[in-house]
Amino acid sequence: METEPLLSVEITRSGKPAVWVGGGSTTSRFSASFVLHEGKLATACFVKVKGHRCCGEQALVPVQVGDIYVGITGTLPASPDNPVIHIQAWKILEFGKYDGEPVAIYEPIDFNVENVPPSVWEGANIYHNREGKYFVADSE
């Protein structure tokens, strides 16, 4: 059975669709997720500073049609030279609802490991990382 091409999204206070990004490592594995907008890390509309953030949902990023959502997992180290990593990337095609919940409809795409921004690798290598700044564009 083929998986539905859906990605859960949040709706911001201003009514824009958004997804959570973040990452980090445990003793032997890492994970990271991020959004590319026009080939660059997307800017966050919210970055968590309290509560459970370890290796998970650390920053909320507004998304739009054409953005690319990327998820990476693997054994340490998090590096483009590591042969034991798994990358999935999805191009957002449109937004809708599924069972009453907001979703992004996407298509899987090929993604070159060389296109992962350096800050994502840095954040993915941090043990129990709690900071979303590695997975979004600089807010400065």
pLDDT tens, residue by residue, 120-134? 999 999 998 888 899
The answer to whether 136 and 36 have CB atoms below 8 angstroms apart is no
Helix, strand, coil percent content, the chain, rounded in steps of 5: 10, 45, 45
Strands (E), 9-132: 10-11, 17-25, 29-37, 40-41, 46-47, 59-62, 68-75, 85-98, 101-109
Residue 30: is its pLDDT beyond 80?
yes
Domain count, the chain: 1
On whether the pTM is more than 0.85, the answer is yes
Residue 18 to residue 57: CA distance in whole angstroms: 12
- Provide the residue range defining the domain that includes 79: 6-135
pLDDT per residue over 64-105, tens digit each? 999 999 999 999 999 999 999 999 999 999 999 999 999 999
The answer to the question of residue 1 being in a domain is no
Does a structural domain hold residue 73? yes
Is 3 a residue whose pLDDT tops 50? no
